[in-house]
Amino acid sequence: MARKKTLRDVHLSGQPTLVRVDFNVPLEDGKITDETRIQGALPTIQALLDAGCPVTLCSHLGRPKGKPDPQFSLKPVAERLAEALDAPVTMAPDCIGDEVAQMRSDLGAGEVLLLENTRFHAGEEANDADFARALAGNAELFVDDAFGSMHRAHASTVGVTEFIGACVAGMLVGKELDALAKCRAASGDGFIVILGGAKVEEKINAITQMLPRVEKLIIGGAMAWAFFKVMGREVGASLCKDSSVEAAAQIMKKMDDELLARMMLPLDVHMKQVKPDTGETKFADAAAIEPGWNALDIGPKTRDEYGRIIRDEAEIVFWNGPMGYFEEAPFDEGTLAVARALADTKAFTVVGGGDSVAAVTQICYEDDMSHISTGGGASLEYVQGDTLPGVEALDEA
């Protein structure tokens, strides 16, 4: 695929600019509990301000279902952003409409306007052309810096590009594409992919598209139990949805033995007795999960084996999804062991996916990873070889 233009390829001359940022921050009682995404957006915004561009920012926040809902307002972000930029940030009452259009044409060089949540309009997710035209407004340059939304063809990621002359990737997206391109192009010996989480059905394409390319595909999390079930093993009271079992069965039927041999399943588990609810915990071999027991994590043999592969065999590692129920100790041990192995290995390491990133930051290993992606679903889709509509829509370099 041809390289896409980034902000560096553009001659900035004070043109009115629309930036799609990822301000989908976690909020509790109207307070921002993690401002990583605001910090991440600063380099692109600052570069545009330094070049004298009037900067209009747009983002979604949460899932407001296509109509205004005050709990998903971006207002708290405008306040925090103004502090971080040490410059005024004007909050618009909406993302489209006459009043907003006026505010945008009044915006001066080096001034910032934050539009209200794009998902307050159904046209955003429907990628409605009229909505996209209004959102594009007076912009002469569109900068997409919201990687986590680029796998969705929405008005703010794809639709607006029909109405804006120049469309490029921002600094964050540029970094994402550089790092993820290495995983996207990787194949053969030394390419190790680790997939975890609960739902095989969400990762079925990733598994089938990745198996022919990897040396090993390491599976963890509750989705491993779906494969166990297909293999006729007891899974006790473990999380194992029918839809996941169906997806796992489909994969095992479709792939030949040589490819299936590349898939590593847990050798042992860490489980808890829930029926009767004694709360007792113990390790067991993968084939020895008992009725009434809930397998919540991989066991120590698996931790060692997965860790060894990551440390000794890997040249490029891509990791998406936790190895177990990591929100509750001691069932975070499998996930933390994988994070530690990634921190230790000399391989090029990329972590994508909200839960795996949370595990890495929890133990302060961010600096030991080659790249931490800002997009879970988007990074997985890109690495498995799919095209992302938001990337496709940008200008070629």
The minimum distance between CB 179 and ligand ADP, in angstroms, equals 18
The minimum distance between CB 309 and ligand ADP, in angstroms, equals 19
Torsion of CA 261, 340, 33, 330, to 10 degrees: 80
Nearer to ligand ADP, 136 or 206 (CB): 206
Nearer to ligand ADP, 178 or 327 (CB): 327
Nearer to ligand ADP, 268 or 355 (CB): 355
Active site residue 199: yes
251-259 LR contacts (CB < 8 Å, sep 24+):
251/200, 251/204, 251/207, 251/208, 252/227, 254/208, 255/208, 255/211, 259/211, 259/212
Nearer to ligand ADP, 163 or 283 (CB): 283
Give me the residues paired with residue 349 across strands: 317
- What is the spatial distance between Cα 236 and Cα 238, in angstroms, rounded to a whole number? 6
Nearer to ligand ADP, 120 or 325 (CB): 325
The minimum distance between CB 118 and ligand ADP, in angstroms, equals 23
Nearer to ligand ADP, 161 or 379 (CB): 379
* Burial (Cβ within 10 Å: 0-12, 13-18, ≥19) of residue 133: middle
Could you list the residues that contact ligand ADP (CB under 6 A)?
197-199, 202, 221-222, 239, 295-296, 321-322, 324-327, 353-355, 376
Q: Which residues contact 125 (CB under 8 A, 6 or more apart)?
A: 66, 119, 152, 154, 155
The minimum distance between CB 324 and ligand ADP, in angstroms, equals 5
- Identified catalytic residue from 4, 20, 37, 340: 37
Active site residue 262: no
Characterise 384 by phi-psi region: left (phi > 0), alpha (psi -120 to 50), beta (else): alpha
Nearer to ligand ADP, 197 or 390 (CB): 197
- What is the spatial distance between Cα 269 and Cα 264, in angstroms, rounded to a whole number? 14
CB 291 within 8 A of CB 285: no
The minimum distance between CB 325 and ligand ADP, in angstroms, equals 4
- Identified catalytic residue from 66, 292, 307, 354: 354
* Burial (Cβ within 10 Å: 0-12, 13-18, ≥19) of residue 286: buried
The minimum distance between CB 237 and ligand ADP, in angstroms, equals 10
Q: Between the CA of residue 201 and those of 242, 323, 326, what are the distances in Å?
A: 10, 17, 21
Q: Which residue, judged by CB position, is nearest to ligand ADP in the bound state? A: 197
- Identified catalytic residue from 174, 324, 375, 377: 377
CB 223 within 8 A of CB 246: no
- Identified catalytic residue from 66, 97, 133, 199: 199
Q: Which residues contact 327 (CB under 8 A, 6 or more apart)?
A: none
**CA nearest neighbour of 155 among 120, 108, 203, 201:** 120
The minimum distance between CB 241 and ligand ADP, in angstroms, equals 10
User: Which positions are catalytic?
Assistant: 37, 199, 354, 377
